[in-house]
Amino acid sequence: MRFRPQAGAQFAAPLLFLLAAGCGADAPPAPAVPLGPDSLRLGVEGRFGFFHAPLRVERLAYVVDWDGSGRETTGFLRSGDTAELRHSWPDTGLYDVACRAHNEAGDTSAWSGPKPVRVWDLDSAPVTPGPVIGPDTVARGADSAFGAVTTDPELDLLTYVFDWGGGDLQELGPLASGDTAWLLHSWPDSGRVLVRVKARDEHGLQSAWSPLRPVEVLP
């Protein structure tokens, strides 16, 4: 089973760990977390970068682990420079990309921290938001804060469409997937209103409307 890097891991016997990992006293430090996109469409190549802050001038190559999709080694380049590779995955899912460096003498670093990449297939609509967040009663003509939150399977930016009742629509966005949208709203007449919200991603795909949320507007 391959070594799986874990952020913040502590080792009681660092010398023993270095020897087990094939690292000597002259080994380069662990590289930084790889650079690259947070999400990719299935079969589309993404560009990833690999580097570390050099302790000394030397030539390094990077071994890249694509998390179950093979390993790949870059050519040698000067320490501090960024190596680049392109990669795509054959299946959807969440993958952790990691790398380690080795110098021309064969000394090998520890693994970097993981870079998560979500691989998705056909674009999907945002998840239907829950009921609008806000007070159950408001004063007529007074601004009150109402919110909504949902996520997008591909982590697309989202625009929220609030329906304040009677076809009175208001939009807010774009916002990151998972961020809460907040708007101030008031009603000129007292009575009971039903509010709802839906989300639209940057490709125009829309969620269903949320469940209706009753709000009492007091005189």
pLDDT single digits (tens) 144-159: 999 999 999 888 899 9
- Give the number of other Cβ atoms within 10 Å of residue 198's Cβ: 21
In a domain, 169, yes or no: yes
- In the prediction, which pLDDT does 11 show? 30
Are the C-beta atoms of residues 189 and 195 closer than 8 Å to each other? no
In a domain, 128, yes or no: no
Residues 69 and 96 both lie in one domain: yes
In a domain, 114, yes or no: yes
Residues 85 and 167 both lie in one domain: no
In a domain, 166, yes or no: yes
At 15, which helix (H) or strand (E)?
helix 14-20
The span from the first CA to the last CA of the chain, in angstroms, equals: 69
Last residue of a domain, one of 68, 92, 120: 120
Per-run averaged pLDDT (10 residues), the chain, 219 residues: 37 34 69 93 92 86 95 94 95 93 93 93 87 96 96 90 93 95 96 96 93 96
Residues 83 and 47 both lie in one domain: yes
- In the prediction, which pLDDT does 25 show? 63
Residues 101 and 30 both lie in one domain: yes
Indicate the number of domains in the chain: 2
Residues 168 and 106 both lie in one domain: no
Buried b (16+ CB within 10 A) or exposed e, 145-157: ebbbbbbbbbbbe
Residues 35 and 107 both lie in one domain: yes
- In the prediction, which pLDDT does 22 show? 46
SS3 48: strand
Residues 18 and 116 both lie in one domain: yes
Nearest Cα to Cα of residue 188 among 145, 139, 135, 132:
139
- In the prediction, which pLDDT does 203 show? 85
Tell me the residue range of the domain where 198 lies. 137-218
Task: Report how far residue 205's alpha carbon sits from residue 187's, in angstroms, rounded to the nearest whole number.
Answer: 30
Nearest Cα to Cα of residue 26 among 101, 113, 80, 137:
101
Task: Report how far residue 135's alpha carbon sits from residue 145's, in angstroms, rounded to the nearest whole number.
Answer: 8
CATH number at residue 192: 2.60.40.10
Task: Report how far residue 47's alpha carbon sits from residue 70's, in angstroms, rounded to the nearest whole number.
Answer: 16
Residues 96 and 71 both lie in one domain: yes
Residues 160 and 90 both lie in one domain: no
Q: Which pair of structure tokens corresponds to residue 130?
A: 């829950």
Q: Kindly tell me the burial class for residue 47, based on how many C-beta atoms sit within 10 Å of its own C-beta (0-12, 13-18, 19 or more).
A: exposed
In a domain, 131, yes or no: no
Residues 145 and 116 both lie in one domain: no
In a domain, 4, yes or no: no
Residues 187 and 96 both lie in one domain: no
Last residue of a domain, one of 120, 154, 176: 120
Q: Angle at the Cα of 114 (from 110 to 119), degrees rounded to 5?
A: 145
- In the prediction, which pLDDT does 167 show? 83
In a domain, 143, yes or no: yes
Residues 116 and 141 both lie in one domain: no
In a domain, 3, yes or no: no
